[in-house]
Amino acid sequence: MAYRFDFASIADYTPVLAKGLGVTVELIAFGAVAGVAIGIAAAWARTEGPRWLRPCITTYVELIRNTPFLIQLFFIFFGLPALGVQLGEMQAACLAMAVNLGAYSAEIIRAGIAATPRGQYEAGASLAMTRLEVFRHIVLKPALARIWPALSSQIVIVMLGSAVCSQIAAEDLSFAANFIQSRNFRAFEVYIVTTVIYLLLAIVLRQLLRLLGQHLFRRAPR
């Protein structure tokens, strides 16, 4: 093979990669927490919430799940300023990720809730709990335990999807890779290094979520 590998040329840019990795971690940390929170709220609203709210939630979920993430991101970053909502690239990226994960996790969590046996609701009602109390104490936790692996996968998918945030100049890991590539033209070396970092990041994230699941649902019934 005639190509001469030169990984040393990447070494000069280690701070750029490190900064990019930091931004990606920041994005996924915020995106995952806010996204799952939105997902739980939306799942509640869709199953237990007031009747008038349900079509709104359905519209939100279907709108987000049936449009590309990149377009959602561009709409927030380039489109909203026309309506007077000026968000920086990090705010826009965080919002887009939270909104996107919110819609997907709403559907996943709803599936978990739908699998709750009727007897559980009746047990809650017989203890004079309100509907909200039943949801909080009886329904939600086992539901989350049921769908935790699926939710973890979705969070990893959104983390990998955060790569497109580089398109609005959010300086994440992909931005760092593209930036280095535009400076030293070492595309192969840059992208192989970035690929390995993303892979490690995904493995670490998955393990963290597994441990979190074990901790949260230790004694939850299956």
Contacts to other proteins by CB under 8 A: 74, 77-79, 81-82, 86, 88-89, 166-169, 175, 178-179, 181-183
Under 8 Å between Cβ of 135 and 142: no
Give the nearest distance from C-beta 162 to other proteins in angstroms. 15
With respect to other proteins, which residue has the nearer C-beta, 28 or 164?
Answer: 164
The nearest distance, CB 164 to other proteins, in angstroms, is 10
Residue closer to other proteins by CB (options 73, 139) is 73
Angstrom distance (rounded) from CA 25 to CA 35: 15
The residue among 26 and 48 lying less far from other proteins, judged by its C-beta, is 26
Smallest distance, other proteins to C-beta of residue 15, A: 15
- Least Å distance, CB 47 to other proteins, is 38
Nearer to other proteins, 85 or 115 (CB): 85
